[in-house]
Structure 1
Amino acid sequence: MGKITVSNIRVYAYHGCLEEESIIGSDYLVTVEIKADLEKASVSDNLEDTVDYVFINRVVKEEMQISSKLLEHVAKRILGRVFNEMQSVTRAVISVSKMNPPIEGDVEMVTVTLKEKRE
């Protein structure tokens, strides 16, 4: 078993419950942690035997471009694609962070994290 982490994928997107958030947009950071059997890849040195982190990055960017009110909804869509399109993944953790959220106070970011494992 092994773990691949793609950290802090930077995306500009349009998520939020406030109308201006869907117009103005905001900066987001997304981190994806994948657990999978990496033994074969460690021996073969073939991309086909591992989880392609270029593909993970593309999935995140595509799903972040679909506007949602809640970060939980975006994270769940990313999780769904990870499990549907990468059969070798046994567990995944997705964290979606909204930078400078429009709430009162000096808040650097708000982060939602969802976890899932293959049954």
Structure 2
Amino acid sequence: MGIIQVNNIKLFAYHGCLDEEAKIGSEYRVDVEVKADLKKSSKTDQLSDTVDYVNLNHIVKEEMSIRSKLLEEVTKRILDRILNEILMVKKATVSVAKINPPIGGNVAEVVIILTKKRKKQKRLA
């Protein structure tokens, strides 16, 4: 098993419960970590034998562009899409950070981190 990380994806989006967040938006940082079998790709040197991190970045950008009230919801959508669309991924962790959140204090960021494992397939007898 190996790990692929795509870190510090910087985006501007409109998530949040406040009406003003929907209008003015905020800066976000997303980190993605996936676990997959990388033995074959480490030998073949072929993109088709690994998890394409361009695809991971694309999923993050698309899901972050869909407004959510809660970061938990957008984080779960990213996680679900990764596991649904990239069959090589056995486990994924997604971290979504809202930079300088409007919560009435000097807070650098709030972060939601979710992890999900692929369910094992039942074998047919």
* 1:105, distance to aligned residue in structure 2 (A): 1.0
* 1:40, distance to aligned residue in structure 2 (A): 0.4
Segments of structure 1 that go 5 or more residues without pairing to the other structure are none
- Runs (4 or more) in structure 1 with deviation over 4 Å come to none
Segments of structure 2 that go 5 or more residues without pairing to the other structure are 120-125
| TM-score normalised by L of structure 2 | 0.94
Partner of 1:86: 86
CA distance in 2, matches of 1:84, 1:7: 21
| TM-score normalised by L of structure 1 | 0.99
Q: Deviations over 1:63-95 (max 9, x none)?
A: 000000000000000011101110000000000
Q: Deviations over 1:23-60 (max 9, x none)?
A: 00000000000000000000000000000000100100
Partner of 1:16: 16
Structure 1 position 58 matched with structure 2 position 58:
yes
Rg comparison, structure with higher value: 2
Q: Determine what percentage of the aligned residue pairs are the same residue.
A: 59
Partner of 2:38: 38
Paired letter, 1:12: F
CA distance in 2, matches of 1:43, 1:75: 33
SS of match in other structure, 1:10: strand
CA distance in 2, matches of 1:115, 1:84: 14
RMSD over aligned CA atoms reads 0.4
Structure 1 position 106 matched with structure 2 position 106:
yes
CA distance in 1, matches of 2:13, 2:104: 21
SS of match in other structure, 2:98: strand
- Give the number of equivalent residue pairs: 119
